[in-house]
Amino acid sequence: MSDTVLVLNVGSSSIKFALYGDPAARPLLRGKIAGIGIGAGPVLSARDEAGNVVPADEIPAQDPAAGHDALIPSLLTWLAGYQRGTRIVAAGHRVVHGGRDLAGPQMVSDALLAELDALVPLAPLHQPHNLAAIRAVSAFMPGLPQVACFDTSFHRTQDRLAQLFALPRALTDAGIIRYGFHGLSYEYVASALPVHLGGRAEGRVLVAHLGNGASVCAMRARQSVATSMGFTALDGLMMGRRCGAIDPGVLLHLMEGHGMTAAEVAHLLYEESGLFGVSGLTNDVRVLEASTAPEAQEALALFAYRAACEMASLAAAMEGLDAIVFTAGIGENSALVRDAICARLGWLGVALNKDANAANAARISAASSRVDVLVLPTDEEGVIARATRALTSG
């Protein structure tokens, strides 16, 4: 019987999962339950080690009304049956918030869960789902070693100035600081930099994680120096449905002038803004790129404009720029968005090779470019699997 590590990345409407034999290799199985609590109900899809789609008749039917608590046991039952001859020996979880102090992955214990429960007010949309998944696994497989990996940990190397808001000190002391997110993605990219950049990997590198959620991280010596997301995952870049950085006076006006409640403003900022809100169409970049509607083109132009401005600002935070890495769904696949961003960064020494960019090649900078520009697929699940194996073996 061979040992496997289960990786769970639980969001509000989806559960992403992967099963690793060797955490340094491709997962034996990778999949997703999407549509939890919305539309026709949850749908499970998965691919095996070779990238083949696992046939639908192998996937158990899901109750449309099932929530996370019901889905995790049924997922674990399915996984146990799918991989005959293997057994899950540990589980690793993506947990959005590790607070100020947790600078690396942690073994799950009652004390840790209590500490993470206390952080729920800082990430009310994500943290409860992450912790519910840990508890559901504990209930279904009592005694299974579990590891929590945090999206905030990678940024704890930042100087104090990069983490401060210009607010009264009492609020800073109460934990209202810039935490930063997407840390597991940045950790993966940081680990992959030497292969692609050699000695320049230790220089000043901007990593743009452009997915449905989007942020940029400035790294020096492969450590986070500054990042565009702050206290919440709303700050910084324009995103799929989130507005990114906004004049806080707008929020006061919406509440005082338009009579909106806090919940209504939150819904507007998290769900109705970004590419979706500006285009009035969709948050899917593929659809926006194919559309001739001026609103769709303006949404893409604004996305690239905001990203380039944030990236230039982070170049100042790390006092120079040696390389840019694009990653995540849009960063890995949209030549148009990368081109529009890099066109605004020419003054920093960025020049693209158009053909390499159109082909989504690993290196897309022109030979003449002072700044290396790379496209690297991220692998958050792999980071979690390796951390879980490292903390639980021996």
- In the complex, which residues of this chain contact ligand AMP (CB under 6 A)? 211-212, 240, 283-286, 328-330, 333-334
The enclosing H or E element of 48 equals strand 43-48
**Which residue minimizes CB distance to ligand AMP?**
329
Quote the DSSP letter at residue 234.
T
CA pair distance 90, 132, nearest whole angstrom: 17
Q: Is 151 a catalytic residue?
A: yes
The residue written with tokens 């999407």 in the block is 34
Minimum Å gap between C-beta 235 and ligand AMP is 17
Q: How far is the CB of 304 from ligand AMP (least distance, A)?
A: 13
Which one from 69, 151, 247, 339 is the annotated catalytic residue? 151
For ligand AMP, give the closer residue by CB, 49 or 284.
284
- Minimum distance, C-beta of residue 223 to ligand AMP, in the bound complex (Å): 23
Beta carbon nearer to ligand AMP, 66 or 336: 336
Q: Which is nearer to ligand AMP, 22 or 289 (CB)?
A: 289
The dihedral over CA atoms of 328, 330, 336, 340, expressed in degrees to the nearest 10, equals -80
Strand ranges across the sheet with 214-220: 223-227, 214-220, 204-210, 323-327, 372-375
Q: Provide the token pair at 40.
A: 């026709």
Least gap, CB of 95 to ligand AMP (angstroms): 18
The SS3 call for residue 78 is: helix
Token pair belonging to 360: 């989504």
Residue number with CB closer to ligand AMP (211 or 236): 211
Number of Cβ atoms within 10 Å of the Cβ of 358: 14
| Interacting residues of 109 by C-beta distance below 8 A, sequence separation 6+ | none
Residue 329: CB minimum distance to ligand AMP, A = 2
> Does an H or E element contain 276, and which?
helix 274-279
What's the sign of the alpha-carbon dihedral 274, 279, 281, 285? Answer: negative
Minimum separation from the CB atom of position 378 to ligand AMP (A): 8
Least separation, in Å, of the C-beta of 377 and ligand AMP? Answer: 10
In this structure, what token pair is assigned to residue 166? 């210009």
Q: Residue 201 or 285: which CB sits closer to ligand AMP?
A: 285
Quickly count: other Cβ atoms within 10 Å of residue 351's Cβ: 17
Residue 180 or 274 having the CB closest to ligand AMP:
274
Q: Where are the beta strands (DSSP E) in 124-279?
A: 146-150, 204-210, 214-220, 223-227
- Report d(CA 204, CA 223) in Å as an integer: 10
DSSP type of residue 57: G
Between 80 and 362, name the residue whose CB sits nearer to ligand AMP: 362
Length of the chain in terms of residues written: 394
Positions marked catalytic: 151
